[in-house]
Amino acid sequence: MPDDTSESPATRPATSSAPEIGSLDPTALAFGIGTYVIWGFFPLYFHALTPAGPVEVIVHRAVWGLAFCLLTLAILHRLPSLWATMRNPEILWRLSLAGVLIVINWSVYVYAVQSGHTVDAALGYFINPLVTVALGLIVLHEKITSAQKVAVGLGAFAVIVLVIGLGRLPWVSLTLALTFAFYSLVKKKVALQVPPLEGMAVETAAVAPFLLLYYGWLAINGHTSFQALARGESSIPWGWHLLLLVGSGFLTMIPLIMFARSAQGLPLGVMGLIQYVAPIMQLIIGLLVFHEQMEPARWIGTAIVWVALLVLSADWVLQARRSRKILQTRDAATD
């Protein structure tokens, strides 16, 4: 899922600057679908990174992702913009906190994929838009529509069904939904001040030293994946394993660039609808490729969440149409 969006497209209000529904930019649509398809295939990629554990994967993802950001910023002559961002104390601490939240999110996601909980991860990203709306109401005191209240209520009911049916908290799903929602909340106030690439560079730079310290501890104790390969605990070629770990950093950043391009040419409603491509693909991969089990409670809980998302998406489309009619009326009046 997206790692550097400040809020879920399906939950943002329509603005006059957004492209109109029905006037789709084919290139932007291709970039948008491509972005979510890449994110949808992430479980296959992260599953292939074993014997690297979840946090070791995140070390490589953050470090190589930071290298990609810095290289790209240097090529685009935007390093001065990065330094200016880092000299702003308020932006720096917000992005640092965002970095901590996204590392938790990444780590739990990779853990879920590698431990046979891909379907729980998919459910977490289905729940995320509902949590984002709830945080907007509770923390930011934003006004939400009756339909959005119904959607949030259904999401809460789905969690209750899961807890009762499974006999435990679906902690993977809830952690992913909550960390990304709080990440979005933290990023909300700086999203318009900091471009995505600079923001991602600061976030990863803030957490990279701590991740590298952890990697040093792994190395000292002989627990890195490369040491496991040297002991013959896996038949994966050393060079191929390194290439995949380096690639995890690049795969973090490339979809973000594609996402930024798609967001420029697509209505928010379309962005809100296609964002579900990724968790749907993850759910299918979990069921058909990894052969994970879906207890009846999971099916029921997931179905309730889907109903909530349909309500949320329909509400957005109605709001977008009303906004468009208002703009058209204003334009006609000025003419």
Domain coordinates of the chain in residue numbers?
Answer: 24-129+167-298
Mean pLDDT, all residues of the chain: 84
What is the Cα–Cα distance from 35 to 275, expressed in whole angstroms? 9
Q: Encode pLDDT of 162-200 as tens digits.
A: 888 878 888 999 999 999 888 878 877 776 788 878 888
* Confidence class for position 18, pLDDT limits 50, 70, 90: very low
Check: pTM over 0.95? Answer yes or no. Answer: no
Mean pLDDT computed over 218-234: 92
* Confidence class for position 71, pLDDT limits 50, 70, 90: very high
Residues 6+ apart with CB under 8 A from 85: 91, 92, 95, 194, 198, 199, 202
Residue with tokens 């913009």: 81
% of residues, the chain, pLDDT over 90: 42
- The closest alpha carbon to 183, from 271, 124, 248, 122, belongs to 124
Spatial contact of 177 and 301, defined as CB atoms under 8 Å apart: no
Mean pLDDT computed over 217-230: 94
> Which DSSP symbol is given to 9?
G
Handedness of CA 210, 216, 221, 226 (dihedral sign): positive
pLDDT at 50 over 50: yes
- Which conformational region is residue 149 in: left (phi greater than 0), alpha (psi within -120 to 50 degrees), or beta? alpha
- The closest alpha carbon to 41, from 118, 117, 124, 103, belongs to 118
pLDDT at 52 over 90: yes
Residues 6+ apart with CB under 8 A from 140: 185, 188
pLDDT of residue 264: 66
pLDDT of residue 291: 93
pLDDT of residue 245: 95
* Confidence class for position 331, pLDDT limits 50, 70, 90: low
